[in-house]
Structure formats: C-alpha cells, structure tokens
Amino acid sequence: MTPREVAALLAYVVRLDPRMNVEDQAAAAERLAQWCDLLSDVPAIAHGWDAARTARDYIARNPYRIQPSDISRPWHAHKADVLNRRHVGTFEPTAHPDVDPDDETGDAYVAALRAERRAIATGQQAPTTTRAITAGPMAAHVKQRLAQLGTYMPPTVRDALADYRPHRAQREALAAAGRPDPLDVPCPYEHCRAPRGQQCRDHRGNNRTRPHPSRTDNATTRHAQETAA
C-alpha cells in the first residue's frame, strides 16, 4: 500500500475503533510510519482481497487493538493460498503472444512464467483455475471432441485407474453386482438436493464420501421396482 492508502486505512480503523485515535501529532506520525513500513508489500485491494474488509473483520471479532501484522499476516496467507492451491500454474500460449515458441533457450518462457506468478502474487492478475481451463470459449470444442472420442474404456485401463477414480469405480462395481446405486437418483435431503449422478454434499457444500441415507433408501426402492418389473 502507498502511504496515502495506509493513511486512509488508519482513518477507517479509527472510525471503527475509537480507541485507536491518537491525539498527539508526533505519535500519529510515528504510527503511520510504522504501518507504512509493515504494509508496504500488502495491496489495498486485489483479486479476492480487501485490506479494509480484513481490518473490519478483525475489529468485529477481537477485543484487542488491531496491529498492522493483523492485516499483513492474512494477506500473505491469502497470497500463498492463491499461488499454491487456486492457481494451476499452466502456461497458456495464447496469453503470451510475445513468447516465441521456437526459442530453444526457454528464457522468454521462464520470464513469462515469473512475470505471471509475480502479477498473481501481488494481486494484479487473477489466478488461472481449473474452472477457467474447463470453461470459456474452448469448452464447446472440448465437449465436441470428447463426444467424438466416446466413453468406452478397455477393462484393463479401467481397472488400472480404479484407485484414482474411486467413486466411478464404486458405481461400476455396484452395477456389475446388480446392486442399487444411490447416485442413480437425486438426493431428497432438503439441505443437499444433489442431482442424479453427483455426490451428496454436506452443509458446507463439500462432497460427502457417502450418500445421505434417504437417497440410499430411494435408490433401493427404485432398484427393487425395476428388478420386479
């Protein structure tokens, strides 16, 4: 943040917590200098980040007076999360038209990757997520190619991949054994409502390893009706 941005953040903090107000001009200048030093590498606003919101959340949840480290620590945690978990780190040639694909040294390629990572780390660029790769203008083309390839998979390949696709392997095993598959029906649980073919979700929206009991019951009933028909 620039000194102007830090001063604006401090004014906002004082408005939320009057205990932070300093009457002495020298003390106020010293505190501003301290905050500017500790927040020099923290942006005011970035992709998924807002320093003012972080300060407000801290003041709302903690009885202690806020310190600049209470803003810098969350920023560095956010930056690490973006780089290590959200950003897939793939190199998209269309995003770097200035890089010569025939450059055998690879210097331009490395420089482009470093510049992209630096831009994401400082909040100037949004991370490239898996969702971004599987959506957008290329999604229709990818879908068409997959349809042309079909869904057949040799049994030997399917068995070799079973450990890496446990839910699909479990469904295939249920089908082979002639047993009911809970994912063949939508989940009736009001806090889930997972559609057919998708795993049940918990109250946080995360996939459950097991379907809800009511879904299993519905699948069992449907399987019994289809078997008797």
pLDDT digits (tens, 9 = 90+) for 50-105: 999 999 999 999 999 999 999 999 998 888 777 665 444 455 555 556 666 666 56
pLDDT digits (tens, 9 = 90+) for 167-177: 677 776 777 67
Distance (Å, whole) CA 63 – CA 73: 18
What is the Cα 46 distance to its own chain's centre? 15
Q: Which residues pair with 50 in a beta bridge?
A: 45
What is the Cα 215 distance to its own chain's centre? 28
Distance (Å, whole) CA 109 – CA 226: 58
**Confidence at 189, pLDDT banded by 50, 70, 90:** very high
Tell me if 31 sits within 8 A of 73, measured CB to CB.
no
Q: Residue 87: its pLDDT value, please?
A: 45
What is the sign of the dihedral through the CA atoms of 195, 200, 201 and 203?
positive
Place of tokens 């946080």: 204
* Residue among 7, 11, 19 at smallest CA distance from 63: 19
Residue 72 makes CB contacts below 8 A (sequence gap 6+) with: 38, 39, 41, 42
* Residue among 49, 52, 69 at smallest CA distance from 124: 49
